[in-house]
Structure 1
Amino acid sequence: MAPEQIPGSAGPDERRLTGLALNPAAPVDVLLRLLALEFAAVRVALCRDRVLPGPVVDAVVAHPDWRTRGFFAENPYADPEQRARLVDDPEYRVRGRLAREPRAADDVCAPRPLPDRTVVRIIETYESDNLWELNRLISPGLQRAMTTHPSAKVRCMGIGRLSWESLTPDVRDALLADPDPGVRKAADATRHYYERLRDPDAVREDLPAHHCHARTHLLMYGALAPDVVAEALSQNAWLIAFNDSTPPETVALLAAHPDPEVRAQVAARPDLGPAERRALAVDPDPGVRLALSVHPALSEAERAAIDYEVEQDEAYCLWPVYDPESVPDLEIVRAQALSAHPLLRRRAADEPHLPADLVALLADDSDLGVRVLLGQNHPDAPAALLLRCFLEHTGRDRWHVTRHGNFPRAGLARFAGAEDPAVRRLALLDPAIPAETADRLTRDPDPQVREDAARHPRLPQDRIVALLDAPELAHRAAANPALPAATMYELIAAVGQPVP
């Protein structure tokens, strides 16, 4: 059974103990007693789905059951230094889970890189099948330094993770002359690949006749000979519209292509000529006109002259910052923020390095998307904006904004009677919500509201204890930090664990 399926198969006692395993106020002794129980769902919750105190981490890392250690290996909430203790685990399945990006159930807790020494150890000692999912577990600093790292295996892996053309000539020459034969082989193969990718005759020779990933990649990124372009015009026009080696005369043909998706792709090309820009600016398809309206070569007056429409009903996403040292060209960001075009302002609002004066400006922007993206992605988004974002935007990532450090919590109890159940949930973020209100919300018609209310610490203790016998809410009540410690021990004793 997969770990994510275990909680759904749990019985009543196990579900209560699973909730207790997530209780942030549970003493270390309670957590250690839960770890000793033979309940898979409890161990999943305890080891994978929460932050653990040091003594419990020690017990998990030393636990004889490899599955228990494996749950902790994929814990997205644990400090990476704690997870790194499993790097030399004797069970290959535990090591395999450590080498994968851990994903939070709510997809909000972004994966954090493992310590560099741990990643190097993984690269040097794990089977290659365990390395392809490392991804964001490699810190940006190590990522940049891989091709010059002292370890030959790290250099070899770096060749595959970094574009050959992004490396300086000195680094390329050093890799081609590397003392390690494996590095030299990988470097020579990568150089050969890129040389062929820039050779139209080689691309023609390598191009598969059937539709596949290799054909798509070559048509999008390879240097294309005239005959290859001519053939692709009828079958794969979108792909060559993306390719930056497509010649200007072909781009002109693609700008008049009958498929609006192809024309929209052409509209995004930075090398688009003035004639094509003028034609696409009055294209009959609104999507094409919108794509052209954000072209970097246009002036603000030219953008304003285009009849475009920006959709408001979109999924405005949270973009977790992976490399905090990667700072964009702030002049470009400023120009975008000051543009009259909502999509350009949205691009600026996505940027976590946006200066304070532009944050203040965009926080009151007329475009919903600008406001929501700023609230989701900027670390200094003001509290009033964050609450406004939640109340006005009902998209998929709506709840993410409530986890922002600046999201206001005081006074949210006033939303307890709102018509929208998602807004009623806001009331349960208020640390001072009246006890009777929290009690009433445990009987709310919406199941998510009831669950949030059941674990609110302002809920009266007698109601918390009563909910331990409610099948739907028992696990949430057991996770309530106001649950008396004596009751915690009683829940464990009920399944045979002795009370001290």
Structure 2
Amino acid sequence: MSDSVHERWLRGIAFNPAAPSDVLVRLLDPAAGNAGPLMCEGRGLPDPVVDAALRHPSGVIRRALARNRYVDPARLAPLASDPSGIVRAWLASGPRHHPQRVRPLPDDILVTLLMAQDGGEDGRLTAKEIIGELDSSRQIPLSFFRSIAGHEHPGLRTVATWRWQSLTPAQRAALLDDPDPGVREAAQDRNWALDPERVEARLPSFGSRNGFVFGTCALSPALVEQCFADGTVLPMARNPHTPAYALARLARHPDAEVRAAVAARPDVGPVLVAELRSDPVEYVRTCARLHPFPRTWTEYRAIDQVMGHGPDCTCPTGEPFTESNADPALGPSPDWFASCAVSEEAVLRRVAASWLGLSAELAETLARDDDEEVRIRLACHHPLAPSHLLLDVFVTRPAHRPALLELPAFPRTGRAHLIDHPDPEVRALAAADPALPDPPVADPDASVRQAAATNPSLSPEALGPLLAAPPYRRGRRVQPGTARSAHARTPRPLPERHRHRADGRPTPRDDPHAAITGMAKARTGPRVPVSVDRHPAWLLSGMMIAMDTEILVDIWQRLHADPGKSWVLFEHGTCVVLTAPDGDLAEQATEILKKFGPARAGSSAGDFGVINLEDVEGWAVTGHHNDVLAYVGPDEPQDQSEIAVGLFGRSKRHRDGTELHVVHVEDKRASANLG
């Protein structure tokens, strides 16, 4: 087996959702290549794997975990004080591929990163550089700044000033009068944006960023006139600090976008609203019709995040709108969103559909809304959006597919009807549906074949070639091919530690298989007993590479010493030797294997022994019946340790013992009678 195929198989196992924790922990070893780092960053992990990764000696593993967006961020707290500054920086910067809605980090992690006195023992970064990564990551919610404005530690009160305009007036006043001189200085420095004279004085230093000043800061009369003179009026039309006299002029501006921005504001008086409701441009009239809904600036921002963005909008969204104990609230009230949900205005229903706190009853109503954007926003944002809606948006709106696939409610079945869809991405989705009877492993599109390789309904005959398939190129990117995908749904056994027999009885040291030539005794000592109750169905039912029947027949014919011995071969390589053949040999062997083939928890049915073969390459794996053996080829197990080989052979015996598919009968009764 080539290293490339071996590595793809390991990566497939790393992403198999049914793989046991102890197997995943072993993939953290550097010998597993990049399977460990990819797994730590790219999938949800069981708690034992998270624990192992957190204390792993390799910084590569820890920093990959730091970017995991599937693990509860609270579990990542130890990484905030990791010895490596690189690990801290990766945690501070957030997931590599930013989702639309970034999860905020827990307060304790934020405090640890913000209060660090150094950049780690490796000396590659400073604490300030790590904080810079955190500040730009969108992982600090506005609620955090408000919560620390009165913190006992002056350093955290200083941090609260970073989002000066998000603080309440009372909090700003308290920080301006803070007993700590450093906090007072920081507060006074940040307060410049609310002082028109200081804004005017600092304007030249902003250069090309003047639009930021005109859109967010308090403006003096001179700056208002400068905006009109320069034509930079749109930022001023959105600025909460724009004086009323300027708004009256902006409401009659020739640019419809400027008039619409004024119409959407919550502080526009009834006279201007009435005038804008009769504007010649429909978009302006729509903004004006929304009054009195945007009664506050938080409600205005909720509407602004939706209005005019279109059905394919994938703009990042920040902190979910929630009520806050601080005054004013960080977001509109639930009652306001409920009112939006039943509004006649489609824009307001889209706003409601974007709020994840909407009631189940209203969400169900919006899922049937006549407006497509309402349904799209509900599918992309609300946790109770029905699965059929998620699937419909996936098919019709490609822009939202990456985000939809990561939603817990996205349907994992019921997609088979899409298998003939002209879009390869849609066919790939259908190809992985477990209900699909015949996954399209021969589809002309490589991504569809890759998806089909993950389908648990795939037969062993179809799976074999996929396990060795090379990567393929899509555009500029090299995709992993079907080998990784096949193992992501059917991982192969990995070595396990020696385990004692479940019933505690000693394991016989004698070899009862004297009738078979070419076999050496099992490696010095007893057979290796492994209790099946420690190995779940993932291991026992793992799909193996189907071996050619003719090869298996030839191997067993060479292994049997007695030319008069009858035996029966089953599909996955298990051989039943018939010491007293009688009647229909296939039926006789089937009855034996039905009883002694399956591995059962809490009994000797989970035991196995490994025998080296001399005349052929590979091993024979014995069980709790002397005449039932499974052949394991030299290229089948990834690890060729005794335990790995034994587990592999036992799982083949288990599968033959449950499927009971006879592929060859060697009837030697005539030869025996002649003898």
- TM-score normalized with structure 1 length: 0.79
Letter in 2 for 1:145: S
| 2:340 matches 1:336 | yes
Q: Is the 8 A contact 2:416 2:436 kept in 1?
A: yes
Equivalent positions of 1:333-372 (< 5 A) are 333-372=337-376
Counterpart CA distance in 2 for 1:79 and 1:311 is 31
Residue 187 of structure 1: aligned partner: 187
Which structure has the highest strand share of the two? Answer: 2
Match of 1:90 among 83, 88, 95: 83
Alpha-carbon spacing, 1:36–1:356, altered in 2? closer, same or farther (3 Å): closer
Residue 459 of structure 1: aligned partner: 458
| 2:485 matches 1:477 | yes
Which structure has the highest helix share of the two? Answer: 1
Report sequence identity in percent.
35
Counterpart CA distance in 1 for 2:55 and 2:308 is 55
Residue 314 of structure 1: aligned partner: 312
Match of 1:294 among 290, 295, 300: 290
Counterpart CA distance in 1 for 2:163 and 2:463 is 52
CA displacement at 1:238 relative to structure 2 = 1.2
Alpha-carbon spacing, 1:164–1:50, altered in 2? closer, same or farther (3 Å): closer
| 2:114 matches 1:123 | yes
Residue 152 of structure 1: aligned partner: 154
Q: Is the 8 A contact 2:238 2:261 kept in 1?
A: yes
Residue 271 of structure 1: aligned partner: 267
CA displacement at 1:240 relative to structure 2 = 1.8
Counterpart CA distance in 2 for 1:223 and 1:324 is 27
Q: Is the 8 A contact 2:492 2:637 kept in 1?
A: no
| 2:174 matches 1:173 | yes
Q: Is the 8 A contact 1:464 1:477 kept in 2?
A: no
Alpha-carbon spacing, 1:62–1:380, altered in 2? closer, same or farther (3 Å): closer
CA displacement at 1:284 relative to structure 2 = 4.7
CA displacement at 1:390 relative to structure 2 = 3.7
Counterpart CA distance in 2 for 1:220 and 1:290 is 23
Alpha-carbon spacing, 1:290–1:417, altered in 2? closer, same or farther (3 Å): same
Alpha-carbon spacing, 1:479–1:287, altered in 2? closer, same or farther (3 Å): farther
Letter in 2 for 1:477: S
- TM-score normalized with structure 2 length: 0.60
Residue 223 of structure 1: aligned partner: 218
Counterpart CA distance in 2 for 1:141 and 1:199 is 24
Q: Is the 8 A contact 2:354 2:382 kept in 1?
A: yes
Residue 554 of structure 2: aligned partner: none
Alpha-carbon spacing, 1:450–1:175, altered in 2? closer, same or farther (3 Å): farther
Equivalent positions of 1:107-118 (< 5 A) are 107=99, 110-111=102-103, 113-114=105-106, 116-118=107-109
CA displacement at 1:452 relative to structure 2 = 1.9
Equivalent positions of 1:207-246 (< 5 A) are 207-208=203-204, 211-213=207-209, 215-235=210-230, 236-246=232-242
Q: Is the 8 A contact 1:99 1:131 kept in 2?
A: yes
Counterpart CA distance in 2 for 1:492 and 1:97 is 33
| 3-state DSSP of counterpart to 1:208 | helix
CA displacement at 1:208 relative to structure 2 = 1.4
Letter in 1 for 2:254: P
| 2:123 matches 1:132 | no
Alpha-carbon spacing, 1:148–1:354, altered in 2? closer, same or farther (3 Å): same
Alpha-carbon spacing, 1:97–1:40, altered in 2? closer, same or farther (3 Å): farther
Match of 1:80 among 65, 73, 77: 73
Q: Is the 8 A contact 1:316 1:372 kept in 2?
A: no
Counterpart CA distance in 2 for 1:451 and 1:160 is 48
Letter in 2 for 1:232: C
Letter in 1 for 2:422: E
- Write the deviation string for residues 223-277 of structure 1: whole angstroms up to 9, x where unpaired: 3233322221132111222223434443233233333332332232333345544
CA displacement at 1:470 relative to structure 2 = 1.0
Q: Is the 8 A contact 2:102 2:317 kept in 1?
A: no
CA displacement at 1:102 relative to structure 2 = 2.2
CA displacement at 1:104 relative to structure 2 = 5.0
Alpha-carbon spacing, 1:162–1:462, altered in 2? closer, same or farther (3 Å): farther
Counterpart CA distance in 1 for 2:470 and 2:101 is 29
Q: Is the 8 A contact 1:266 1:272 kept in 2?
A: yes
Counterpart CA distance in 2 for 1:155 and 1:325 is 23
| 2:379 matches 1:375 | yes
Residue 47 of structure 1: aligned partner: 40
Q: Is the 8 A contact 1:372 1:389 kept in 2?
A: yes
| 2:427 matches 1:424 | yes
Q: How many residues align?
A: 466
Q: Is the 8 A contact 2:393 2:400 kept in 1?
A: no
Q: Is the 8 A contact 1:310 1:342 kept in 2?
A: no
Alpha-carbon spacing, 1:148–1:338, altered in 2? closer, same or farther (3 Å): same
- Write the deviation string for residues 332-390 of structure 1: whole angstroms up to 9, x where unpaired: 32332222221121112112222344223322211111112122222222344444444
Residue 61 of structure 2: aligned partner: 68
Alpha-carbon spacing, 1:109–1:432, altered in 2? closer, same or farther (3 Å): farther
CA displacement at 1:56 relative to structure 2 = 3.8
Alpha-carbon spacing, 1:324–1:475, altered in 2? closer, same or farther (3 Å): farther
Alpha-carbon spacing, 1:331–1:79, altered in 2? closer, same or farther (3 Å): closer
| 3-state DSSP of counterpart to 1:69 | helix
Bigger RCO of structures 1 and 2 (CA < 8 A, at least 6 apart) = 1
Alpha-carbon spacing, 1:370–1:316, altered in 2? closer, same or farther (3 Å): farther
Counterpart CA distance in 2 for 1:53 and 1:402 is 20
Alpha-carbon spacing, 1:175–1:271, altered in 2? closer, same or farther (3 Å): closer
| 3-state DSSP of counterpart to 1:220 | helix
Letter in 1 for 2:383: P
- Write the deviation string for residues 268-301 of structure 1: whole angstroms up to 9, x where unpaired: 2333345544554454545444444434379xxx
Letter in 1 for 2:115: E
Counterpart CA distance in 1 for 2:88 and 2:314 is 36
Residue 449 of structure 1: aligned partner: 448
Q: Is the 8 A contact 1:362 1:374 kept in 2?
A: yes
Alpha-carbon spacing, 1:479–1:234, altered in 2? closer, same or farther (3 Å): farther
CA displacement at 1:164 relative to structure 2 = 6.7
- Write the deviation string for residues 186-216 of structure 1: whole angstroms up to 9, x where unpaired: 23433xx2xx434433332222177432x22
Alpha-carbon spacing, 1:363–1:156, altered in 2? closer, same or farther (3 Å): same
- Consecutive unaligned residues of structure 2, counting only runs of 5 or more, are 119-126, 295-306, 325-330, 472-480, 495-543, 546-634, 647-675
Letter in 1 for 2:208: C
Counterpart CA distance in 2 for 1:279 and 1:380 is 40
CA-based RMSD of the aligned residues comes to 3.7
Q: Is the 8 A contact 2:321 2:355 kept in 1?
A: no
Counterpart CA distance in 2 for 1:42 and 1:176 is 54
